[in-house]
Structures are given as C-alpha cells and as structure tokens.
Amino acid sequence: MTSDAGTAWLRPDSDGMGSATAALGDQLARALAGAARVPGLPDATELDAVVVLGMGGSGVAGEVLAAVAGERGRRPVVAAGDYHLPSFTGPRTLVVAVSFSGNTEETLSSATTALDRGAHVVGITGGGLLGEMLGDAGKPVIRLPEGIPQPRAGIAAMVVPLLLLCEQVGAIGPVRAELEEAAALSRARCRELASGGGTAAEVARRIGRTIPLVHGAAGLGAVAARRFKTQVNENAKAPAFFSSEPEACHNEICGFGQNGDVTRQLVTLVVLRTGLEHPQIARRFELFGELTSEALAGVVTIDARGESGLARFFDLVAVGDFVSLHLATREGIDPGPVPVLDEVKARLGAVAG
C-alpha cells in the first residue's frame, strides 16, 4: 500500500516503510470503502462483552476499541494480549482475533479456547493458521489487504473493521463519521510529514539520541503514547517508554527526585495532547513537565489536529510514526526489518518443538 507522497529522505528503507507510513490516510479510506456487514453475528441483546485478541502491531486495534468503548461503549470491551482468555468468555461473548500474519501464537492459543467455549469468534487477519482455523470452524474472517510491509504499518486496516464490526453488533455507538474525518485529516497530515520536514522532523531533532518518555491521557491519548513508544522501538531500534496521566502524577513523577545528573542527559519527555482531556489532566501534564524539568533533557509537546477523538488519535499516530522514521534515518537504521523478533520466534519454536 503506497501513497503519492514521496519519502526519498528515508534511507535505508528496504521494506518501503516510508511509503506505507505516508499511506495512513489512504489506508483508512480504503478500509472504510471496503467494509461490509459481517453475516451471522448476534446483536447487543445477545452479548455480554467483547474480547479482542492481539499482540504487537495487531494488538493496538483492541486497545483503540477498548478506549472508544470506555467513553461510549454499550458493552464492556477487554483487549487481551496473552495466551489466556478472560474467565468470563463464553457463548455470550464476541471474541475478535486480530493477527496480521495469522500465525501469532498467543492469539492462536486464545482463539482456540474461545472456540471451545462456544464464543462468537471473528478473525481479522492476512490468513495464516488463524484464517485456516476459523475458516474450518465456519467462523467469519475479515481479510487484510495485501501490500502492507509490516504489522505496525497496518494499523488503520485493522482498527477500521474492528470498530465497524462492534458498531454493527451494537457494542459501541456510531464511529464511521469520525473515521471519515480521520481519513481526510491523515491524508493531509501525511503529505506534509512525508516531505521530510515539519513537526515530526523537529520532534526527532529534539529527541536526538536521548530516550523518549511518552505521556498521553488515559484513553486514546494513552494508546497513542504506547504506539509512539513501540514505533520508536521497532522502526528506530531504540529504547523508549510510555506512561499516562493522571496515573503518572501519582508515582512516576517521584522517580526524578534522584539521579538527575543522569536522566537530564538521557530522557526527553514527549507529551501527546488530544485537546479533549479533562482540565485537571491538562494541568497535570503541565505540572509533570514543570516539576521534573531540571532532571530531563527536554520537554516536547505534540498537539493533535482534528475535531473528533478518533481523528485526533490518528493524527498523533501519523506524527509519532514519522518521528520514529526520522530517528531511524538519523542513525542510518533500516526501519523495516526486525531480526530480533524473528530470533525470538525461532527460539520459542525450537523450545516448543
């Protein structure tokens, strides 16, 4: 999946992550255009809860849904990133298994248990063992488009069908209008960022070789902060950490009382603002930066654009993704391949036989 926006400044880039990142708005629009009702699913009166299975880049979809449901959900939503299902899962639970490859072992394990418990199971996947298993069981499978180089580059392709599926069964309220706004806004933002300048380049310059500590407000802001952190990990192959407000002002803020001579050389606070936070959350962001500033290399704030919560979330995703690409290219790092993950999977497979 590519975009007209050029990212020639990103070198090396063996997987085409620059083009894939620039295509966020296009991916949102295509996912919306291709969405269809999933047959055979219960309505809200037949459901007690929704469980979303997923790990890594695929797991973000469940986190987004849980954040949306926390604000306006009609049924509880649990994002489960583990080998085990929540104990309540049963015939009145919708279980959505999200796996880009279809071979994520944690997701396969939990999906197998969900089938055994008689849950309503749907897959969102590119195929693999998950697609085969659910197909053999006669369960619906929403196929991901081809051409996405890495799971982390397919966030919109996984989030959109998941949200619309849950809208269909009445687990959440309407979201299509927000996703349409997100698509239009992301197209414009990515054209701007793909040029190699703008907000993302400046944030990457200010982070430099320090370690970003990314803060967002609980809900979609926190999901955006975690996404920023993991994109730095995978694209730039660099350490990063995240936290959320108001929790950070109850504990993490205490951790800068000592070792300031070290942290002021190593840690840059990156604050992601949706602009929709509770006024006291906004104040907590300010206080955290103010009270820890002498122990930090710097404080950077990124303000989201847009009207709706989902549009602002995807705007922060676009900026964070491009920041991670700038951090990669500054060090001559290829953002696509993640060989250490391949090694982890290989070693786990060898242990398991």
Q: What pLDDT sits at residue 289?
A: 97
Query: 14 pLDDT band (50/70/90 cuts)?
Result: very high
Phi-psi region of 170 (alpha: psi -120 to 50; beta: other; left: phi over 0): left
Query: Are residues 104 and 46 both part of a single domain?
Result: yes
Q: What pLDDT sits at residue 349?
A: 85
Give the H/E segment covering residue 49.
strand 49-53
- Which residues are CB-contacts of 267 (< 8 A; sequence separation ≥ 6)? 210, 211, 212, 213, 295, 296, 297
Which one of the listed residues 71, 247, 290, 345 is annotated catalytic?
345
Q: What pLDDT sits at residue 28?
A: 98
- Is there a domain that residue 342 lies in? no
229: annotated active-site residue: no
Q: Residue 50: pLDDT above 80?
A: yes
| Cα R_g (the chain), whole angstroms | 20
- CATH number, domain with residue 233: 3.40.50.10490
| Whole-number Å distance between alpha carbons of 128 and 89 | 24
Range of the domain at 276: 192-330
Tokens of 193: 């960022």
Query: 2 pLDDT band (50/70/90 cuts)?
Result: very low
Query: Are residues 160 and 252 both part of a single domain?
Result: no
Query: Are residues 163 and 209 both part of a single domain?
Result: no
Q: Average pLDDT of the chain? A: 95
Q: What pLDDT sits at residue 275?
A: 96
Query: Are residues 29 and 170 both part of a single domain?
Result: yes
234: annotated active-site residue: yes
Query: Are residues 133 and 213 both part of a single domain?
Result: no
Query: Are residues 110 and 216 both part of a single domain?
Result: no
The strand ranges marked E within 238-321 are 241-245, 267-273, 298-303
Report whether 20 contacts 148 (CB < 8 A): yes
Rounded mean pLDDT, 176-180: 98
Q: What pLDDT sits at residue 5?
A: 52
Q: Residue 139: pLDDT above 60?
A: yes
Give the H/E segment covering residue 112.
helix 105-116
By 3-state DSSP, what share of the chain in percent is helix, strand and coil, each rounded to 5?
55, 15, 30
Query: Are residues 81 and 222 both part of a single domain?
Result: no
- Is there a domain that residue 217 lies in? yes
- Is there a domain that residue 273 lies in? yes
Domain limit, last residue, from 142, 174, 206 = 174
Least confident of 5-14, 104-113, 241-250: 5-14
- Is there a domain that residue 12 lies in? no
Q: What pLDDT sits at residue 7?
A: 87
- Is there a domain that residue 181 lies in? no
- Which residues are CB-contacts of 12 (< 8 A; sequence separation ≥ 6)? 332, 333, 334
- Is there a domain that residue 344 lies in? no
Q: Which of 171, 152, 166 is nearest to 60 (CA)?
A: 152
Which one of the listed residues 46, 84, 250, 286 is annotated catalytic?
250
SS3 14: coil
Q: Residue 228: pLDDT above 50?
A: yes
- Is there a domain that residue 240 lies in? yes
Query: Are residues 31 and 156 both part of a single domain?
Result: yes
Query: Are residues 61 and 166 both part of a single domain?
Result: yes
Query: Are residues 163 and 241 both part of a single domain?
Result: no
Query: Are residues 170 and 206 both part of a single domain?
Result: no
Q: What pLDDT sits at residue 13?
A: 97
Which one of the listed residues 234, 237, 245, 326 is annotated catalytic?
234
Q: What pLDDT sits at residue 3?
A: 45
Domain limit, last residue, from 119, 141, 174 = 174
Q: Residue 206: pLDDT above 50?
A: yes
Query: Are residues 154 and 47 both part of a single domain?
Result: yes
- Is there a domain that residue 44 lies in? yes
- Which residues are CB-contacts of 168 (< 8 A; sequence separation ≥ 6)? 37, 38, 41
- The number of folded domains in the chain is 2
